[in-house]
Chains A and B, each alone.
Chain A
Amino acid sequence: MSEKLQTGDSLPAAEPQVPLTPHGKVMAVTSGKGGVGKTFVSANLAAALAKRGQKVLVLDADLGLANLDVVLNLYPKVTLHDVFSGKSKLEEAIIQAPGGFSVLLAGSGMVEYSRLTPEIRADFLRIIEGLIPHYDVVLLDTGAGISDVVLFAVSLASVVLVVATPEPTSLTDAYATIKVLANQQKRENIHMVINQTARLGDGRAITGQLQQVLDRFVVTEPGRGVRLVHLADIPADPSVRQAVMRRQLLMQTLPGCPAALAVAQLARKIEETLIPGGR
């Protein structure tokens, strides 16, 4: 496998499908597998960062099958879809979420944009660039899987957060995602958030395990592998389910529960190490 991955060197045309144009402040949240808490992390992390005084916007980059609206219980009249189709201005589509941050929701009409054409890439890029000056952090909540749309959204981010759970299926998909990002986008650092861990230290062990396999099988250039940075363990916590079922932010309804504390700590770590000009 590693040998096949290296053949890219001998084939100059084997360019990544998506050129990397990372923007500072832009952070992508991705996972590989669906249902591991990607949108939960995006929304609650945004709330936690907002509480720390950061100006945050979450963009629903899962253009085809958006879930952020469901998690936040928001159904705006104007969405990204209207911005893409030229019906509305960008400002009109930005709404305030309960957690004190802004959101830009895709809207169900975005399914047609799941076919990523050069025009859509350009539009998307323009939107992101228009948002950047107004926020401290722009979080891209991407879709599951490793589709062209997901890879494109991730390519815009300077920081990539991969959310995984300790389940083998989730680990496999997270690993595959990291592998693709290392190969196609030549990512050197990928930040890990391990969700639903059973006990303290599990997440770090999982990240370590992933790193070992990556070191062995994914070599981008000699001497330069991809480095996983363990950011947080979010413990398995029944409060999360409660908040999700009530369609409320955990950070608001149960800010003292273990999972919420872990998210708050994640926000602090991100602020301290990853946000340009963070305190």
Chain B
Amino acid sequence: MTSSLAPSFVDIKDLRLGDARALLEHGATVTLPDSREHPTEFVQQVIDGLCELSLKDPLTGLANRRHFLSVLDREIDGVARSGEPALLLMLDIDHFKSINDSHGHLAGDKVLQAVARCLARCIRPMDSVARYGGEEFAVVLPNCLVSVGEAVAERIRMTVESLTIAVGPTTHVKATISIGGAYAPAWVRSTAPLWIERADNLLYQAKARGRNRACIDHQQAIAVSAEEKNLLFGHLALGEPAWLERVAAEPGGGGTSAVKP
């Protein structure tokens, strides 16, 4: 944190950056600047590159599980603060093992990549998609209305179903996914493990019901509507029962309008 006060305490020559450099230049995905001419840029790019590597799944290019968990924690904070509904989808490729078994692991990798690309295309810029592990993916959709959750999941499911994935020069396979989805409890600070557990249970259910389908949990749609609020204390405004007169008149009593007995 004191870097601005003591800018030259670290000599780049003293740092062992060989491994990091090799890691980043592997496959020539990154071209690092000259470490002697532009030491700051060099170190910055090494750091950026390593961060990127540590957050990405190498096979699919999606966020990895680590990155996803931090996104999920941030989303839980957002939901607790804003009360906006957020949907978590857990997606799993159906019968993935049999694809591997009959076409080989390279084919399996191709399917994973194709599904990953497809998922990335299906979502909005504010959504996050990650490879959660194996053939399981996760999508978090902030500010996703409870009424549209099912349609979103269904659209993703159908888009994957429509794919024809080339796994060899003449071989094509079809893949389907099962989806479990759960909303974060609005205005409640839940935890990432609990949220994932709920979505996972629904994914399990989608599998049990025959796969290639989505099961979404609406249970968290518990909030107090304007109509309910109006009934709860709407008579404040009408000055109806005597008990509310004084409440409304008290400072901080929260009366919405003046009460005339």
**Residues of A participating in the B interface, judged by any CB pair closer than 8 Å:** 1, 4-5, 7-8, 11-15, 17, 115-117, 145-148, 166-169, 171-172, 175-176, 179-180, 183-184, 197-199, 201-202, 205-206, 209-210, 212-213, 216-217
Residue B221, interface by CB 8 Å? yes
Q: Which residues of A contact B241 (CB under 8 A)?
A: 205
* Bound complex: CA A8 to CA B185 (Å): 15
If A175-B232, A198-B247, A213-B228 touch, whether A148 touches B191 (CB-CB below 8 Å) is yes
A197 to B243, CA, bound (A): 8
User: Does more than half of chain A's interface fall in helix, strand or loop, or is it mixed?
Assistant: helix
CB proximity of A78 to chain B, nearest CB, Å: 27
**Chain B residues, CB < 8 A from A183:** 219, 222
Pick the contact of A172: B193, B232, B243, B250 (CB < 8 A): B232
Is the pair B205, A172 in contact by a Cβ cutoff of 8 Å?
no
Verify if B225 is at the interface (C-beta below 8 Å from A).
yes
Q: Are A146 and B229 in contact (CB under 8 A)?
A: no
| Contact pattern, B 158-183, Cβ under 8 Å of A = 1, otherwise 0 | 00000000000000000000000000
Q: How many A-B residue pairs have CB under 8 A?
A: 109
A116:B223 contact, CB within 8 angstroms:
no
Take A148-B188, A198-B243, A199-B243 as given contacts and tell me if A11 and B232 are in contact as well, using a CB distance cutoff of 8 Å: no
- Complex formed: what's the CA distance from A14 to B205 in Å? 10
Question: Given the complex of chains A and B, what is the CA–CA distance between A170 and B162 in angstroms?
Answer: 51
8 A-B pairs (CB sep. < 8 Å):
A1-B225, A11-B218, A115-B191, A117-B193, A145-B189, A171-B233, A175-B224, A180-B222
Q: Cα distance A155–B229 when bound, in Å?
A: 26
Q: Which of A169, A184, A202, A212 contacts B231 (CB 8 A)?
A: A212
A147 contacts which of B188, B204, B233, B235 (Cβ < 8 Å)?
B188
Contact of A115 with B193 in the complex, beta carbons under 8 Å: yes
- Residues of B contacting A167 in the complex (Cβ-Cβ under 8 angstroms): 247, 252-254
Stretch at the interface among B23-31, B104-112, B194-202: B194-202
Which chain B residues lie closer than 8 Å to A115 at the CB level? 191, 193
